[in-house]
Every structure is written in structure tokens, then in C-alpha cells.
Copies of this chain bind each other. A is one copy, B any other.
């Protein structure tokens, strides 16, 4: 697991709200596994996680897996192919690993808290979960690695106890695929997801490439089609291009990104270009990091904190 804590500043805080808050997370992965005589590994994971603003430390639904050489199959609270795509989050900066260069569409990932957590269908914002109850969610992800090539396939059923024809209108299982390959100094990655976050027709695509200029410097470009919330709302989430780079000099790593999000739903006060600068300082076992961003909402957001893995 890991821990991180620090200060977060947001000049876009609403009236009466704090611009500066303490941000923290503690994550504990409790794993168990066994290897059979023939070399097949069976295992599982339960996660405990606390984030500031939570009433207590949450448990996550379990993920079980079987792996053999380059093949791995996960069931339950599995990872997803789209969220696991290489490079996708490489533009992140700061002790909380964040940034406007991340994909802005809605899709599923490994769930770090209870299913259905944080989604309130009663207020009309429940676009993509079956009736506020995701308890019968069942995910499967298969991945295969050979040399520097990886491929992943995932299928997340919002309610495995009912036939797909019984699901509410506009709700479908999410399917995803991702591939990546590294040759020399170049890494390329591609991914697609259908019915992202269970929303029928919310299909998203990703292409990315990173070039290692030398052992201390990298640049990358990411393209996202962020899909459509077509489940009754007609929201097109638009396309997005992110450029990023980083450079390490001794204990210090400089990072930067800029992202252009062509979102047809942006209203007044929004801009289509966001960017950020980050600086990491290696403490030799922990990482002190500062980040500052200009967001799509034209707010300035900054952070200063530490991240450590144990």
C-alpha cells in the first residue's frame, strides 16, 4: 500500500468554502495467493482505503485471479482493459498524481470502495448505474504479456443475476480492450471501451505514444475520444489531446503537461485548454512533490505534499 498527504489549494472554491484543505489517502492491499505444483498462481486482493472526506476507512469488493506465465485472468472487482492502458495516466503530476490531461470520459476501473458508492440515483444524476445498486456487478479481465507486448480484454456486467434483456433501457455491460508495445525508446498504446460506465453507446477510444529522449527525459502525446452520455441526455464528451514531458536531474524531476479538450458542452467561464507544472523531489524512500494547474474552469489549483509506498 501507500500513504500520501499534503495541502491542496483551489482558488475556485465556492463562497464560504475553504480554498486550502489537507488532502490525504492511505491504501492497504491485503493479498493472498498460492502457487500450484505446475506453476499456476491463484490469488486474491481486498483493499482498505481512506481518503479525506470519508467517514471511515472503506473496504473494497474482492478481486480473485489466476495467472500462468504471461496470462492472467481476474474476476470480481477486476481491473478494466481501458483503465489499465499503458501511458494513459503518464501526464499526471504532484503527490496526488492528478492532472487535466487524464481522460475526461466515464468508464469503469477497479473499485476502491463499496460498489454503488457515491452515486445518487435519487437526485437524477444516476446516468450509468442500475438503480443505485451495483452489488451484483461482476467483472472479468484477461491479459496476456509476451516480451514488451501487452493486451487486455475486459467485460463488466452491471448485474450478473439478470439477463441482459432485463437490464434497464440504456444500460449495458461495459467491454474494453487495450494493447501496448515498447520498441527501443518508443512506447505506443491503444485502447477502446464500449458502453463506458454501463451507458449504452458511450464508446471511447485512446491512442498514445511516448518517446524516451534519454534515460532522464521523456515526452508523450495522448489522444482521447471521450464518448457520449447518450442515455437520455445526448451529452457528447468530446475529443481531447494531451502533450506532456518530464526531465530528471539528480533528485529532482520536472514535469509539465498541456491538454486541449474540445468539449461541445462547455458553457461560459470554461476554456478548452488546461495545463500544469510539477516538481518531484526524491527523498530516498518517499517523494516530495509540488504541482500547479490551470483547469478547464479557469481555476488555479496547486498542491504540495509527500507520497510514500510501503
Q: Which residues of A contact B (CB under 8 A)?
A: 1-5, 16-18, 21-22, 24-26, 28, 30, 32-38, 40, 42-46, 48, 50, 52-62, 64, 66, 75-76, 113-117, 133-136, 138, 140, 160-163, 165-166, 283-286, 306, 308-310
Contacts and interface: CB of A to CB of B under 8 A. Distances in A.
Nearest to A1: B32
Contacts of A26: 32, 44-46, 62, 64, 76
A21 B55 contact: no
Contacts of A36: 283-286
A37 B284 CA distance: 5
Contacts of A28: 30, 32, 46
Given A16-B166, A38-B284, A54-B135, A59 B48 contact: yes
A40 B281 CA distance: 14
Given A24-B76, A34-B308, A308-B34, A16 B165 contact: yes
28 contacts: A3-B44, A4-B64, A5-B64, A5-B75, A5-B76, A16-B163, A18-B161, A22-B76, A24-B62, A26-B62, A28-B32, A34-B308, A34-B309, A35-B285, A36-B283, A36-B285, A36-B286, A43-B308, A46-B50, A52-B76, A52-B160, A54-B61, A55-B61, A55-B115, A55-B117, A55-B134, A56-B59, A56-B61
A44 B306 CA distance: 13
B53 A283 contact: no
Query: Within the oligomer, what is the number of copies of this chain?
Result: 3
Contact of A285 (B37, B54, B62): B37
Residue from A21, A24, A138, A308 whose CB has the most chain B CB atoms within 10 Å: A308
B55 A135 contact: yes
A207 to B, nearest CB: 32
B56 A114 contact: yes
A24 B75 contact: yes
A49 to B, nearest CB: 8
A89 to B, nearest CB: 23
A3 B61 contact: no
A128 to B, nearest CB: 17
Contact of A16 (B2, B135, B162): B162
A56 B113 contact: yes
A278 to B, nearest CB: 20
A46 B48 contact: yes
Contacts of A55: 61, 114-117, 133-135
B52 A286 contact: no
B310 A43 contact: yes
Given A21-B161, A26-B45, A52-B136, 11 more contacts: A4-B64, A22-B138, A24-B75, A32-B310, A34-B309, A36-B285, A52-B76, A55-B115, A56-B61, A57-B60, A66-B306
Contacts of A114: 55-56
